[in-house]
Structure 1
Amino acid sequence: MDAHKIIFFFILLHVTLSSSTTSVVDFCVADFNYPGGPAGFPCKNPANVTVDDFVFSGLSVPGNTTNIVNASAFLAIDVTFPALNGLGLSMARLDFGVGGVIPIHAHRVSEVILVVEGTIIAGFIGSDNTAYYKTLNKGDIMIFPHSLLHFQVNVGDSPALAFVSLNSANPGFQTTTVALAANDLPTDIIQKITLLDAEQVRKLKSIFGGTN
């Protein structure tokens, strides 16, 4: 094998190895005695891990939809289900009352939704401002690409239920309206960046606990 072929072989080998993900442990159940970081939480001592660490029943309980959006989202992420730590996935249960809404929001990662009961409209907005939305019925799934704004609305005449899966143990959750109105960002600044009037901004701040 000549020198050029050898160099090409090692470059190809390096790219292949560097693009693959290799784990040196089977799992890393989160240990909350230590702070989390960009890679998640430190691992619980495997000697103290049991099968119960890998079971989570929280998504079996209907959420409370008695709130301003008539809907709820219960998350199975690393801080509620420690066995997800480091595994790159999580789930959530979405309950919708009649007319319920999961407001427009975004995550750091991609999401797929599965409708279990009812009829909802789900959609997302591309970075070019194109809106992609569709009515989903029982058994339908839809993907929301990472970081894009998306939403779900119950348009049926009965409660709806859906489950979502996200490709991160802690995907983040930022709701646009709450992000604007639940802090001390001045009302006049919000007016300028949203074109809302002062009365509308103050109403949102009163709902979500914002000041200023």
Structure 2
Amino acid sequence: MKGVHNILVALALLALASSLASAYDPSPLQDFCVALDDIKNGVFVNGKFCKDPKRVTANDFFFSGLNIPGNTGNAVGSNVTTVNVDTLPGLNTLGVSIVRIDFAPYGGLNPPHIHPRGTEVLVVLEGTLLVGFVSSNQDNNRLFTKVLNKGDVFVFPIGMIHFQLNIGKTPAVAFAGLSGQNPGVITIANATFGSDPPINPDVLTKAFMLDKNVVQYLQSKF
């Protein structure tokens, strides 16, 4: 019964994200455009080559595995299982994707990040999460935050820095629908302190008002 509930939640998220998608991804001009890695006899559409429709099968629209918990034994205590156009070719041109996020007990964190090409609608399946996003400079960087419990939903607008933190004593699980076939993700700390090649420490020292040794230490961590 729990598995059926998870599937229904995922479908609802996909439907909602699909309604948001029209503002960001181009509307398809065909029934489907299954992404194809082999460009021979393919047609290039929206960043991917399309498979010959006559060769498309049900498996092109199928993904299995969102019932499997992700490994949270890492530095941040979270794991994101992503289903986008790269893992499910049938999503190409449809403007929607989905993720499963697993959190380790108390302290599991999906670090501050942005999706440059998609709004996110998140629902908590298990556990208790502290979530939030920060608005733009134009809106004075206001923090919108909420504690979510099982069954609660929260929306993170496209391009806004946002996060999720497990504040419960048990593992937490959330699913999220995104309004983009490949919404992208930029983790703020990784991009800032782990860029390749590294950003000049003088830039980060002044931007974050930190001692240069602290900046260099943080860069070494990434």
Instruction: Please state which band the TM-score falls in when normalised by the shorter chain.
Output: 0.7 to 0.9
Q: CA RMSD in A?
A: 1.9
Residue in structure 2 matching 1:77, options 57, 80, 84: 84
Distance in 1 of aligned mates of 2:62 and 2:213 = 47
Q: Which residue of 2 aligns with 1:110?
A: 119
Give secondary structure in 2 for the equivalent of 1:42: strand
> In structure 1, what residue type is equivalent to 2:199?
L
Distance in 1 of aligned mates of 2:156 and 2:213 = 33
Return 5+ residue gaps in structure 1 as ranges.
1-20
Q: Which residue of 2 aligns with 1:147?
A: 159
1:50-89 alignment, distance < 5 Å: 50-89=57-96
Identity of aligned residues (%): 43
Tell me how many residue pairs correspond in the alignment: 188
Distance in 2 of aligned mates of 1:59 and 1:31 = 23
1:85-96 alignment, distance < 5 Å: 85-96=92-103
Tell me if 1:194 matches 2:208.
yes
Structure 1 position 202, deviation (Å): 2.4
Report if the CA contact (8 A) 1:58-1:76 is conserved: no
How far does the alpha carbon of each residue in 1:149-192 deviate from its partner, in whole angstroms, 9 at most, with x for none?
11000000011000011000010101110111112112221111
Give secondary structure in 2 for the equivalent of 1:60: coil
Q: Which runs of 4+ in 1 moved over 6 A?
A: 35-38
Structure 1 position 50, deviation (Å): 1.0
Distance in 2 of aligned mates of 1:204 and 1:63 = 27
Larger relative contact order (CA 8 Å, sep ≥ 6): 2
How far does the alpha carbon of each residue in 1:8-67 deviate from its partner, in whole angstroms, 9 at most, with x for none?
xxxxxxxxxxxxx76431111101124998823121112221111111013222111111
> In structure 1, what residue type is equivalent to 2:203?
I
Give secondary structure in 2 for the equivalent of 1:59: coil
Distance in 2 of aligned mates of 1:78 and 1:92 = 12
Give TM-score scaled by structure 1 length.
0.83
Tell me if 1:130 matches 2:142.
yes
Distance in 1 of aligned mates of 2:191 and 2:96 = 24
> In structure 1, what residue type is equivalent to 2:89?
P
Distance change in 2, residues 1:182/1:36 (3 Å): farther
Return 5+ residue gaps in structure 2 as ranges.
1-25
